[in-house]
Amino acid sequence: MSAAATPTLYEWAGGAAALERLTELFYEKVRADELLEPVFRGMDAQHPKFVAMWLGEVFGGPPHYTEERGGYPHMLEKHRGRALTEAMRRRWVQLICDAADDAELPSDPEFRSAFVAYIEWGTRLAVVNSQPGAMPAPKAPVPRWGWGEAPPYSG
């Protein structure tokens, strides 16, 4: 497969519909989780859709999160001062990985490796940026995540 023909992670995942399915299932799990439910109590009913938009843009889809929600500065503001813990981060990772299975996102090792790499990276930044007194860069682009070292293989 040539580099020009390599699909984005967004395309490989199944686009907006797949990521919305993922985040709906994920936030169902969050609402039932004793550790994470208090963090998300009272969240906007559209929150799963907004997170799907973020993930879509990160994974190479259209820039809807930037255009409609304000991009990185808006996302950063949602995490500031929340004092997220490592235990919360680990639970978030566990639940979204479980939701990826439930949503039937592609299970090939290349996709899941890239997916989990972003989830690990992003959640670790969220913990750091959520601490009292944290001084993250106030403006940055939405990250663009790709296949890394192992793009999909079709032979």
Rounded to whole angstroms, what are the CA distances from 138 to 55, 59, 72, 132?
20, 22, 8, 15
Tell me whether residue 101 is in a domain: yes
Tell me whether residue 56 is in a domain: yes
Output DSSP code: residue 106: -
Tell me whether residue 1 is in a domain: no
Half-sphere exposure of 99 (CA within 13 A, CB side): 25
Q: Which of 48, 60, 51 is nearest to 10 (CA)?
A: 60
Amino acid at 147: W
pLDDT, position 150: 45
Beta carbons of 33 and 119 less than 8 angstroms apart: no
Rounded CA-CA distance 103/18 in Å is 7
Rounded CA-CA distance 107/86 in Å is 26
Tell me whether residue 54 is in a domain: yes
Tell me whether residue 151 is in a domain: no
pLDDT, position 55: 98
Ordered alpha helix ranges (H), 70-144:
71-79, 86-102, 109-129
pLDDT, position 139: 86
pLDDT, position 113: 95
Quote the number of domains for the chain.
Answer: 1
pTM reported for the whole predicted model: 0.91
Tell me whether residue 141 is in a domain: no
Tell me whether residue 39 is in a domain: yes
Q: In terms of residue numbers, what domain contains 113?
A: 10-129
The tens-digit pLDDT sequence of the chain (155 residues) is: 455 689 999 999 999 999 999 999 999 999 999 999 999 999 999 999 999 999 999 999 999 999 999 988 888 888 888 999 999 999 999 999 999 999 999 999 999 999 999 999 999 999 999 999 999 888 888 999 999 854 444 44
- CATH code, 84: 1.10.490.10
Tell me whether residue 3 is in a domain: no
pLDDT, position 4: 65
Beta carbons of 59 and 8 less than 8 angstroms apart: yes
